[in-house]
């Protein structure tokens, strides 16, 4: 897969590019069934973290912060009762699985390092790209917290900023079912919010120890 000059220009100007039918049906099915298998084998009692972009504390706990080289499970806000028991089927309670699927799961590894993705990276002029994390995100019906506007580069911060995100829509993403929203061109405006995440294992900076004020 090689991008056209127009596609590269659109990505540079607007900060996004949509590639229809980027992966074939068999690949989509392999990712979905791998995810189903992972959840089948997962015991919810072993994974007690809720993912939330609203409450910083929740994403600053150890389960989240040490998930970079593991496959871990994050539940939707409201999926468990006060005793920690699931209120819905576990397949409908998960917000995301992350963050090393591309290393530890064969179907995810295969698609992540596929010729198609390598071709896109080359076309965009990425030199020596590194895949630092991967996740499977769900948009569950009738449950879950709001994902507030944010920039992923405030969580995966580099100097200079050069994070590129790649989203594979495994189902049609629509206005009704929780599609990704973005502001075209916002990638040229730097960090827009007032906070970014830093690793702070000493916990010296107050309650939300993994965040710093800008
Ligand atoms: O759940 C979402 O829709 C987005 C989450 C996200 O941006 C992230 O985890 O990096």
**Exposure string over 9-23, b if 16+ CB within 10 A, otherwise e:** ebbeeebbbeeeebb
Q: Is 137 in the pocket of ligand 1 (CB under 6 A)?
A: yes
Substitution candidate for ligand 1 out of 147, 151, 193, 196 with most atoms within 8 A of CB: 147
Going from the Cα of 180 to the center of ligand 1, the distance in angstroms, rounded, reads: 9
Q: List, for residues 131-187, the tens digit of each pLDDT value.
A: 999 999 999 998 988 888 999 998 898 999 899 999 999 999 999 988 999 999 999
Higher pLDDT, 193 or 73: 73
Kindly write down the DSSP assignment for every residue of 158-209, as one continuous string.
-SS---------SS---TTTT-----TTGGGS---SSEEE---TT--SSSST
Domains of the chain: 5-150+161-182 (2.60.120.620)
pLDDT band (50, 70, 90) for residue 203? low
Tell me: pLDDT of 208 over 50.
no
- Give the ligand 1 atom nearest the CA of 152: 10
Higher pLDDT, 198 or 113: 113
pLDDT at position 207: 43
This prediction's pTM = 0.89
């Amino acid at each position: 897969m090689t991008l056209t000059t127009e596609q590269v220009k659109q990505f540079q100007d607007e900060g996004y590019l949509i590639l229809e039918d980027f992966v074939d049906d068999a690949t989509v099915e392999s990712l979905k069934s791998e995810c189903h298998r992972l959840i089948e084998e997962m015991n919810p009692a072993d994974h007690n973290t809720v993912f939330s972009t609203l409450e910083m504390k929740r994403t600053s706990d150890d389960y989240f912060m040490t998930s970079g080289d593991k496959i871990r499970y994050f539940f939707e806000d409201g999926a468990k009762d006060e005793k920690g028991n699931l209120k819905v089927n576990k397949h409908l309670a998960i917000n995301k699985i992350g963050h090393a699927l591309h290393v530890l799961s064969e179907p995810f590894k295969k698609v992540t390092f596929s010729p198609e993705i390598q071709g896109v990276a080359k076309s965009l002029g990425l030199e020596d790209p590194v895949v630092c994390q991967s996740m499977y995100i769900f948009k569950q019906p009738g449950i879950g917290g709001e994902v507030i506007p944010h920039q992923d580069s405030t969580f995966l911060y580099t100097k200079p900023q050069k994070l590129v995100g790649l989203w594979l829509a495994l189902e049609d993403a629509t206005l009704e079912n929780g599609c990704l929203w973005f502001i075209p061109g916002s990638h040229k405006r730097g960090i827009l919010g007032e906070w970014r995440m830093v690793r702070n294992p000493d916990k010296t900076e107050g309650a939300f120890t993994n965040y710093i004020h800008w």
